[in-house]
Every structure is written in C-alpha cells, then in structure tokens.
Amino acid sequence: MDGMFDQRRYLIPFRSSLLPQIFTDTLVIGAGVAGLRAAIAAAAHGECIVLSKGDLKTTNTSWAQGGVAAVTDPADTTESHIKDTIVAGAGLCDAPAVRTVVEQGPARVREIIEWGMRPDRDPAGKIALGREGGHNAHRIIHANGDATGAELQRCLVEKVRGIPAVRIFEKCFALDLITPSEEPGAPVMGAITHHPKYGLQMIWAKATILASGGAGVLYRETTNPPIATADGLAMAYRAGATLADMAFVQFHPTTLYLAGASRSLITEAIRGAGAHLLDNSGHRFMVDVHPLAELAPRDIVSHAIVRQIAKQGGAHVWLDCRHIASFGTRFPGIAALLKRFDLDPALDLIPVHPAAHYMVGGVRTDASTRSDVPGLYVVGEAAATGLHGANRLASNSLLEGLVFGEIAGRVCAEMKQPAGGTNGGKPAGWGGAGRAAPVPVVSDIRPSDRGELDLNDVRSSLRSSMWRNVGMERTGAKLEGVIDMIDFWARYTLDKIFDDPNGWETQNMLLCGAIIAKSALWRTESRGCHFRTDFPEPREDFRVHDLWRRGRVAPLSAPTE
Ligand code: FAD
Ligand code: SIN
C-alpha cells in the first residue's frame, strides 16, 4: 500500500501520560463468540478486560441463524468435515488449522452445552442436526430454530459475567493498538479507547486479543449488523500486523429483498430443510447448475442467482418454502420477520438476493492465534487462520470462534505463568511485572485545515462503490477505478481528526476497502468467493496467501500449508 493509508500510525493525537491509565493482564477487543470464549480461558490465570463497542447483543454472533458445524453424530466423521471444509476453501486452506478446528470443535460444543446453551433436540432428546450448503452430512447444531447465535451469545455472556476476573466494558470503542514505537517488531501493549462517559483511556495489557469481527458494512448490501466496520483489521494494519487474503469476501445467496426491509438473512438451513430457488417463471434453476442444487457451496449458489437476476433484467429470484412443514416452529425468527411484511411462507414465495456476509481474509495468524506483531493475538472473523482458505464452509465460523478463542485465551494465560526465561514471555517493552508504568506513547498528528466534510456521504459512497465494483463479479478495470476513487476520498478523509466512532469507523472502512480492492486486483484469477470475469479460472501460481503490511507497496505472498 502507499499514500495516505500508510502515513497515519494512529487515528488521533494523544499523549499517553496525560490520559487515564487502566492495567490488565489480557485485553480482549470484541465480545462475540471468539472474544468471550477467549476471555473465559484467559481469566484462568489473571485479570481480563473485554471491550464491546456497542451493546452485547449487537454482534455478528448474536445474529447467526443456521448454527454451529461439528461432528457429534456417530454416523459422521472428522475426516468428512475436514474434506468438506477443504473443498469449500478452493485450494487455500491451511490443513493444520482445519484439523485443529474440526478435531477440537466437538469438545468445545459439548462444553458450551454444559455451560447452559440449549440446542434444539429431536423428540427422543437427541441433539437435532441440520444440513447446509457444502456439507455432506447432517452436522449443524442449532438453537431456537433460526436463533442459534443469540442463544450462544446469551450463554457465553452469562458465563463471562460469572467470572470475577473478567470486566466487560460496553460501548467502549478501541481506536488503536498501542505500540511503544513505530519500529518493525514493536510489541502491542494494549489499546487506546473511547467511552462516551469516560472519554479517552489507555488500557495497558500484557497480551491483547483482537476479536473485533468482520467487515460486512463496507458493502451497501450486507447481512451484518452495524458494528462490522473492519476496525480491528485497520488498527492491526496500522500497528504493523500482516493482513492476508483480503480479496475473499463471502456473499450469502439469500437475504430478504423487499423495499423498506433491512437485508435480513434468510438462513441456508431453510434450503437444508428443502426450500427451492425459483426464477421468475417458477423454474428451479439450481438443478441445472450443480448436482447439490440449492445446497451447492454458497459461492456457486450466489453466482447462479446473480446470473439469473441478470437474465431476468435485474429482478430478484424467489425462495419457495411452501412445501416445508412447520415452518413457523422450525424458523420462528424468519416467520416473524416475514409476517411484518405480510408474507406467509406457506402461501407466498420469498423475494431473495445475495449480500456481503463474511470476511474470509483478516489478520494473518499462526496455529496458536499469534499475529506477526508480538503481544497481539487474533481470533474469530478478524483473523485469517487459514481455516477457510478462499471460501468459508457454512456454520464453520462460530466453531472457529469457539476453538481459536479457547486457544488464544489459553496461550495468553500460560504466558502469564511465571516462566523460566526473561520477562515470562511477555512482549518486550512491557514495563515490568504488576502495574509499573509502561513507556510513554505520543501521537503528534495535526488536523488538516480543509474544513467540514459530509462523512455520511463518504461512507455511503464507499459502500455503494464496494458493492458495484468489488462485489460478486469483479474486473481489473472496475477495481482500478475504485482504488483511485477510494485513494481520492482518503486524501480528504484520512487527514481529519474525528472525535466520535462514526468518523473513526469511516476511516477504517476506507483503509480496508482499499486493501480488499487491491488484493482483488492483484489476484488475477477466480477462486473460492473471489470472482474476476476477466480471469474466470483459478491459476496455480495464485494458490498462495496474499499478505498486506503497512509500508509495503506490493503484497507479499506465502504458500498454503
Ligand atoms: P462478532 O460476533 O461480530 O463480535 C465482534 C465484537 O467486536 C463485537 O462485540 C463488537 O462490538 C466488537 N468490536 C468491533 N470493533 C470494535 C472496536 N473498534 N472497539 C471495541 N469493540 C469492537 N456463522 C456460523 O458459523 N453459523 C451461522 O449460522 C452463521 N450465521 C450468520 C448469520 C448472520 C446474519 C451473520 C451476519 C453472520 C453469520 N455467521 C454464521 C457468521 C458468524 O456469525 C460470525 O463470523 C461470527 O459470529 C464472528 O464472531 P466474532 O466473535 O469474530 O465477531
Ligand atoms: C446461514 O444461516 O445461512 C448462515 C450460516 C453461515 O453463515 O455460516
């Protein structure tokens, strides 16, 4: 990257010594499945602070519908789940990450059920297992029909609230990760945060776990809640961490497409229960596209829908659920949503359209969740662990959050144990044991004098442009155009100093939008959920992770494992 994006180390000017100081052992940025699971493990050996920029219900986790994929049925096998994950990942999965998640997943699922999560069960009391696109077995655990995420979030929040060593700071926005200098390899030592009541604060931590979720809000059409503005990816990049595979943004095939309705997800589990996709003439077009028809991997379904929409002159397609028995009890959340728009799934077809859903790329980590910046661990949707490769298998991300969340928390907790070596394995630069003052950090940036800016206009222009040009079908020419445009907007948006989350989020969105577009331009092939109409096939020389680091003009690349 170059230009404006790499100039700013911090979003705001500050002097750490003049701000309130808070000290903890582990700082977890994010209170979704990954952050909460990490906090539970980290708290085994020390104090932990968890940040949530909104309330605890506004997370991608809470909005998850379909479920958690895990091998719990004796008829299913670990090898089958591994194979399905690797097939979906289109040549870019890192095999050790896949094996870790699939093998450790069932234990993590048993554990949350012991902690009080209530999965749906069949009349005999056995856990009911659903099936979703790309899975060759029934292995999706769900709760309250289509409200799995809300139940998982409830359970984890209750568990965390019962641990005295964990403090949750709600509505507390992390602006930037703190490093003692801008030298390469300078360790992360916590974060600078903003709370509407307490203002700016320095939270110093011996280990920082980034669990800040995804980036769906970068796109005009998205299934994601408003918190998904890529803050964690942007702050990690500014702190010197490497981002990987940013071109890979997964689009979900079916969101409700009605004027005036939010783009609510219509879960894939409904297709797992037998729903059909119909074109305008009532033809079930997926049967012509893939042997698994509506249950083909989700990029195949999304692209087939986009092509169908183009054939129909822009009109959406339909989801036919009329033959699904007990829709209202199996999918109560969606039934209630449809009712608000006078739609009855037993009688009416549901208008659907794809939308941006999941950020496959993220901060590159190793199998212990370590980024390449000392002291910074990354989990959940913010991480690129190599599990998903070039495309994510449905319902693998809640599982990933549970597994890698536990690993990150455990690694941080173990690091805090007295170790034989110097500094107990803490990042170099930490001021010492206990609560000694760390090195002072100063950010000296000055505001530009260009005057006011219509920030909401920048944000909505970016979102529209990402949808049109960096969406499901990309070309080199469109990507070059959008990169120039974002660079231009960045010149007069990134030089400003804002004092509230709307401004900071927009700056983060511009940075990550530019990296996604640059990664998509660099990847002159189609693979997984990245599709270039000018390069429609995968290329063997691109079967590598592309890596983006502050201060480097071109990406590095690393082979898959
Ligand atoms: P999140 O759950 O998104 O949590 C992010 C946290 O970070 C939030 O607490 C947020 O406040 C905090 N945060 C962000 N930025 C900042 C900041 N600057 N400062 C402080 N805090 C910050 N996956 C599945 O496996 N199965 C499903 O059925 C499924 N269904 C889905 C349905 C929908 C509608 C959506 C949107 C996603 C779905 N997914 C599903 C994907 C899955 O929900 C997410 O990938 C996963 O929940 C991400 O968890 P996370 O812990 O990484 O992040
Ligand atoms: C869905 O319920 O369709 C979403 C599942 C997922 O994104 O994993």
Asked if 305 and 253 touch (Cβ cutoff 8 Å), the reply is yes
Please state, in angstroms and rounded to a whole number, the distance separating the CA atoms of residues 463 and 24: 37
pLDDT digits over 517-553, tens only? 999 999 999 999 999 999 999 999 999 999 999 988 7
The yes-or-no verdict on residue 289 having pLDDT over 90 is yes
437 lies in some domain = no
339 lies in some domain = yes
3 lies in some domain = no
Ligand whose nearest atom lies closest to the CA of 69: 1
441 lies in some domain = no
Q: Are residues 288 and 373 in the same domain?
A: no
Kindly state the percentage of the chain with pLDDT values over 70.
Answer: 96
- CATH for 227: 3.50.50.60
Please state, in angstroms and rounded to a whole number, the distance separating the CA atoms of residues 33 and 211: 9
Q: Is 266 in the pocket of ligand 2 (CB under 6 A)?
A: no
268 lies in some domain = yes
Q: Are residues 191 and 95 in the same domain?
A: yes
- CATH for 321: 3.90.700.10
Domain limits for position 216 = 14-248+360-425
Using a cut of 0.85, tell me whether the model's pTM lies above it: yes
Q: Is 466 in the pocket of ligand 2 (CB under 6 A)?
A: no
- CATH for 519: 1.20.58.100
Distances (CA, A) of 412 to 138, 432, 473: 35, 16, 41
How far does residue 171's CA lie from ligand 1's centre (Å)?
16
Which one, of 181, 258, 223, lies nearest residue 428 by Cα?
181
- Please, which pLDDT band fits residue 2 given cuts at 50, 70 and 90? low
Within 284-326, residue ranges assigned H as helices are 298-311
- Domain total in the chain: 3
Ligand whose nearest atom lies closest to the CA of 264: 1
DSSP class of residue 18 equals G
2 lies in some domain = no
Q: What is the per-residue pLDDT for 433?
A: 40
Q: Are residues 98 and 196 in the same domain?
A: yes
Which residue among 372, 390, 425 closes a domain? 425
Q: Quick one: tokens of 525?
A: 């092939």
The yes-or-no verdict on residue 154 having pLDDT over 70 is yes
CA-CA-CA-CA torsion sign (12, 16, 20, 22)? positive
Q: What is the per-residue pLDDT for 297?
A: 79
- Please, which pLDDT band fits residue 424 given cuts at 50, 70 and 90? very low
527 noted as active-site residue:
no
pLDDT digits over 479-510, tens only? 999 999 999 999 999 999 999 999 999 999 99
Q: Are residues 55 and 194 in the same domain?
A: yes
Report the Cα 327 to chain-centroid distance in Å. 29
Q: What is the per-residue pLDDT for 448?
A: 80
**CA angle in degrees (0–180, nearest 5) for 561-550-362:** 45
Which residues sit with their C-beta closer than 6 Å to ligand 1? 29-35, 51-54, 59-61, 63-67, 148-149, 173-174, 211-214, 223-224, 227, 231-232, 265, 358, 380-382, 395-398, 401
Q: Are residues 165 and 63 in the same domain?
A: yes
